[in-house]
Amino acid sequence: MANPPGTLNQLVDLLRQYRLSAVAMAACELDLFSALEDPEQSIEGLAARCGASALGMELLLNACAALGLVHCGAREGGRRYSNSALAQVYLVRSSPRFIGSAAMRQYHVLYQTWGRLAEALRTQRPVQPYGREGLASMSDEEVRAYVLGLYERGRDGARAFARRLDLCDRRHLLDVGAGAGTYSFELLERSPHLHATLFELPRVLRFTRELLGGVSIAPRVRLREGDYHEDDLGSGYDCALLSNILQTESETSCQALLRKVFASLEPGGLLIVNGIMHDATSPAELEQALFSLSMLLYFPEGRAHAADTVTTWLTEVGFTSITTSPPEPPAIHTLIAARKP
Ligand SMILES: C[S@@+](CC[C@H](N)C(=O)[O-])C[C@H]1O[C@@H](n2cnc3c(N)ncnc32)[C@H](O)[C@@H]1O
């Protein structure tokens, strides 16, 4: 649980926490952290590069310094600003771990969407649908930003996820609803004999294909276009991955999808379910509670299902040897492994 507000001031602070996000996102939108790669730049120089006024730049820098994203030191004739270590790694455009697309998606899409939470609750409809119908109605640029965001935001988590698994004795992975392929890429990095088929909607796969151009494991990846509600997933796989999928689907769809994945696996095949699930017997942690709410904003029937519920579905479908690994903080993902007899 978050620290409960105990005073009026703390309550008001809670109501205006959005200001902190607004500062961080404005700095990303102006590409301030890339500009700060040259710490010798004057405020005027930074302002010109970012397209802001000198006064606005100074105020933004001070707010970023107060947030700990920027360091502020003295120099002759004024202040000298530089990136914090974290901003340098994740918010500078030239960094290999830049998460700018994910940050901009927060700004241009998710920030506005969260502001319409009450509307989603009243109308019982997502305000920014990301299911197959939602993706079909987006522009190419929006789908591209979505896929890049999945990649950038998912990379660190996917790396930690892959470390929890040993797939060295497996040959062919089916990644259902693979998105940017982030999780498969990390698994292939660690398992040199493994090949992967990424099953995804065609509009998304188009941009996954672009990302493949930049990864060394590309020759071991196959792309398979399709809709997992309607199309055949293929066969001959000795492992399958459902990563961040069940939480976007209703109970009925999850059960149908698990049956399909079961059918596509060879005997002895391993299914890995990775996602945000909750413990049905205790109140949700803040992140999980927010996550479940966010599903109402994006997916008509999505929610974080209980890990026990997923285990029951897996048993009903015919999987055995089911093991559940709870989240390893700071990650909030539960990992379930199950075998087809
Ligand atoms: C939350 S993302 C998860 C992506 C990826 N597995 C990961 O963990 O990063 C859900 C993905 O499911 C895909 N998806 C949604 N509906 C689908 C459908 N009917 N058939 C195939 N893919 C679908 C979306 O395009 C999206 O990439």
CATH of the domain at 240: 3.40.50.150
Give the separation between CA 280 and CA 103, rounded to whole angstroms: 32
In a domain, 2, yes or no: no
Tokens encoding 239: 């492992």
* Whether 109 and 63 share a structural domain: no
User: Cβ(294) to ligand 1 under 6 A?
Assistant: no
- Contacts of residue 309, defined as CB under 8 A and 6 or more positions apart, other chains included, come to 251, 280
Domain boundary among 48, 65, 94: 94
Q: 154-181, pLDDT tens digit by residue?
A: 998 999 999 999 999 999 999 999 999 9
Tokens encoding 136: 């079909």
* Closest residue by CA, ligand 1 atom 13: 177
Give the separation between CA 190 and CA 173, rounded to whole angstroms: 13
Q: From 205, 168, 206, select the one nearest 188 (Cα to Cα).
A: 168
* Whether 109 and 73 share a structural domain: no
Ligand 1 center to 331 CA (angstroms): 20
Contact 149, 101 (CB under 8 A): yes
* Whether 227 and 293 share a structural domain: yes
Q: From 254, 297, 336, 258, select the one nearest 119 (Cα to Cα).
A: 297
Instruction: Look at residue 1 in the predicted model and tell me its pLDDT.
Output: 58
Which residue segment(s) compose the domain that 225 sits in?
102-339
* Whether 316 and 268 share a structural domain: yes
In a domain, 307, yes or no: yes
- Contacts of residue 3, defined as CB under 8 A and 6 or more positions apart, other chains included, come to 10
Give φ, ψ of 228 to 5 degrees.
-70, -15
User: Cβ(135) to ligand 1 under 6 A?
Assistant: yes
* Whether 120 and 260 share a structural domain: yes
Contact 103, 28 (CB under 8 A): yes
Ligand 1 center to 330 CA (angstroms): 23
* Whether 73 and 111 share a structural domain: no
User: Cβ(248) to ligand 1 under 6 A?
Assistant: yes
Rounded to two decimals, what is the model's pTM? 0.84
Q: From 255, 252, 152, select the one nearest 211 (Cα to Cα).
A: 152
Give the separation between CA 308 and CA 317, rounded to whole angstroms: 14
* Whether 156 and 85 share a structural domain: no
* Whether 234 and 263 share a structural domain: yes
CATH of the domain at 26: 1.10.10.10
Number of domains into which the chain is organized: 2
Tokens encoding 110: 């998710």
Give the separation between CA 13 and CA 315, rounded to whole angstroms: 46
Work out the number of other CB atoms within 10 angstroms of the CB of residue 282.
Answer: 7
Instruction: Look at residue 304 in the predicted model and tell me its pLDDT.
Output: 86
Tokens encoding 15: 């109501």
Q: What is the pLDDT along the chain (341 residues), one digit of tens a residue?
A: 567 888 999 999 999 999 999 999 999 999 999 999 987 889 999 999 999 999 999 999 999 999 999 999 887 777 889 999 999 999 999 999 999 888 888 888 889 999 999 999 999 889 988 888 888 889 999 999 899 989 988 998 999 999 999 999 999 999 999 999 999 999 999 999 999 999 999 999 999 999 998 889 999 999 999 999 999 999 999 999 999 999 999 999 999 999 999 999 999 999 999 999 987 777 677 887 888 888 889 888 888 899 999 999 999 999 999 999 998 887 889 999 999 99
Instruction: Look at residue 144 in the predicted model and tell me its pLDDT.
Output: 93
Reduced to 3 states (helix: H, G, I; strand: E, B; else coil), residue 217 is coil
Residue with tokens 């003295």: 74
Of 110, 175, 248, 295, best ligand 1 pocket probe by most atoms within 8 Å of the beta carbon: 248
* Closest residue by CA, ligand 1 atom 27: 179
Contact 66, 129 (CB under 8 A): no
* Whether 208 and 266 share a structural domain: yes
User: Cβ(229) to ligand 1 under 6 A?
Assistant: yes
Tokens encoding 115: 């502001």
In a domain, 1, yes or no: no
Give the separation between CA 109 and CA 25, rounded to whole angstroms: 12
Give the separation between CA 266 and CA 255, rounded to whole angstroms: 19
